[in-house]
Chains A and B, each alone.
Chain A
Amino acid sequence: MENERILDVENMSKFFPIASGGGAFRRKTADLRAVDGISFHIMKGETLGIVGESGCGKTTTGRCVLRLYDNIKGTVSFEGTDLTKLGAEQARRARREMQMIFQDPMASLDPRMTVGKIIGEPFRAHGEPERKDEIAELFRMVELDPNMAGRYPHEFSGGQRQRIGIARALALRPKFIVCDEPVSALDVSVQAQIIALLEGLREELGLTYLFIAHDLSVVRHISDRVAVMYLGKIVEITRSDELYSNPLHPYTLALLSAVPIPNPRLDRQRRRVMLSGDVPSPVNLPRGCRFNPRCPKRASGLCSEVEPELKPLSPGSDHWVACHHA
């Protein structure tokens, strides 16, 4: 692994305004704090996993990193360029180097376009010639038959469609790919194939991934480091072996205890950390630690008063956690 940061995110926030009233009378009444001041970096060739429940802001994080939204606070620097400062057209050009793989492989492919045209879209978008041999090569890279280029997306299985989505993301040979839950819509047997394909491509093309998922076992397999998100904040971030062997944040513990163990005896023996209640609304955040209303630990009054900072366990440690009692 090269010692170079490809992506450096600092204090990034993305709020969505909640407005009421219609037409010219529309006024902002509140903010939905989807991502609320998060910082992380990704090294070249590394895979950073992001896990968390639905609505915790992990998809928004992925989209902010590609600057698919405007009005992002903080800085997102990709190879030294701050994407948040770019205009719309510059951001569009910057996307040549960074691509995205989407969760639902049916919805992310236009049903009225042949897959050959879908895979060729990145070339057209950036004004490059759509070469037949290059598209055939992309088909081979994702282990599909190039002769299927004239077919439509519905003629493929879920796994094949996801391969098409991957081929499209690879077309311009990007350096960095955001994988937004790329396997969660697929059958378990197919999931493994797609993960293996993504890993193989990473080695072959020297890619860097931001891998978003809610399935911890999938993330563990592919990631070098993992960030756990809760309500728009990163609560714990560390190397993936460290996270799984020594989880410190009570939320991480709860998530890990929900991972099924394929051995009934071991599964019966372990202690389940069950979380009660629902995720609080990202419009009305709880006071103090965001996790305190659901935290099984809730050790002190500090939890409901002061929001804990994400800080290293000991100076220089790569295990960062945001809990007063870690």
Chain B
Amino acid sequence: MDAVEKEAKKRNYAVNMLVRLVKEKPLGAAGAVVLLVLLLVGVFANVLAPYGYNDMDLSARLSPSSPAHILGTDNLGRDLLSRIIYGARISMIVGFSVALIGTALAAVLGIISGYFGGAVDFVIQRFVDGMMCLPSLIVVLTVVAITGPGLLPIILVLGVEGGVGGRVRVVRGAVIAIKRNLYVEASRSIGATSLRTMAEHILPNVMAPVIVMFTTSLGSAIITEATLSFIGLGIPPPEPSWGGMLSLSGRSFMLIAPWMAFWPGLCLCVAVYGVNVLGDALRDLLDPRLEGGSGSYKIKKMIGGGFGGGIFGRRRRQKPENT
């Protein structure tokens, strides 16, 4: 209660959060910068990229860095920098759409489940149990095998798969804690409908875990898209995806043109690491229970940030295989 009060004490909440992020969590702020740069690169890909992503220069195949092709070219003579820039667009589209769908689903289900309780809660939670006992990557692979690869199916599958799972539990727990506050009952006594109470009182008060969830699912969506593209079930070529670039051509020409795998691999690492440290920093900043926690805890969390958490958290350790 007291922590919430302190939190709310800040008049300009967003600005204040930003200042705290930079001051207290420099690593997290760096992650935010990485994400912002990637987002801008993705949005302005067609302006920034020196070539089209599928423009082949067959005379300059497999060429290393040169003034014409800063990061070199691939086996078809396509400019790697351009492909990475367009790849950022794909990663950002997939990452943000999946995180948005997943977080929105988890928030809606979690709020309904926690607010109403009883039979509604029971049904939703058993459904979540069911989803949680299936290995997520297997589910995703199965569905993609049926629908066929492509941007839309991947976004939908990853979004729904990420949304109906453990994240519902996180929101539900927060809602159950908030529901006990007197202002929720006050809202009912005024004559507000359940929908209004949930939208006006419950949602704003669970925003902190929801924002953190959004960033963690952003990171895991990017890495899962890369994984799917790597095994050929993601974005079909010639669309550039970082995972796809690492895959067949990247591996086959590893020995003669290592830059083909190196650059997309590096981008993937930086992007996911950046998003994850941002997510961890936000978790520390937004979680009132951790406020004023010891410094060592914060440092530990930040260093560990790149490896833990997220639905595909365990798989993230296998990253060296990709790079």
Contacts and interface: CB of A to CB of B under 8 A. Distances in A.
Nearest to B204: A112
A95 B182 contact: no
B4 A125 contact: no
B57 interface: no
> Is chain A's binding surface mostly helix, strand, loop or mixed?
loop
B9 A154 contact: yes
Interface in A4-42: 23-24
Contacts of B182: 102-104, 107-108
Interface residues of A, number: 33
B182 to A, nearest CB: 4
B138 interface: no
Contact of A96 (B5, B7, B191, B196): B191
A243 interface: no
Q: Which of B4, B7, B188 has the most CB of A within 10 A?
A: B188
A216 interface: no
B181 A125 contact: no
A308 to B, nearest CB: 34
Contacts of A113: 200-201, 204
Contact of B190 (A24, A153, A168): A168
A122 B8 contact: no
B186 A108 contact: yes
Interface magnitude class on chain B: 20 to 34
A244 interface: no
Given A108-B182, A112-B205, A121 B192 contact: yes
Contacts of A103: 182
Given A113-B200, A154-B5, A92 B193 contact: yes
Contacts of A96: 191
Interface in A149-207: 152-155, 165, 168, 172
Given A109-B183, A110-B205, A112-B204, A121 B190 contact: yes
B122 interface: yes
B59 interface: no
B8 A154 contact: yes
Contacts of B187: 110, 121, 125
Contacts of A153: 8
Interface of A: 23-24, 66, 68, 92-93, 95-96, 99-100, 102-104, 106-113, 121-122, 124-126, 152-155, 165, 168, 172
> 7 nearest interchain CB pairs?
A95-B191, A107-B182, A125-B192, A111-B8, A100-B189, A108-B182, A110-B183
Interface of B: 1, 4-5, 7-9, 11, 122, 181-183, 185-193, 196, 200-201, 204-205
Given A106-B5, A152-B11, 14 more contacts: A68-B185, A95-B189, A95-B190, A95-B191, A103-B182, A107-B1, A110-B204, A113-B200, A124-B200, A154-B5, A154-B8, A155-B9, A168-B186, A172-B191
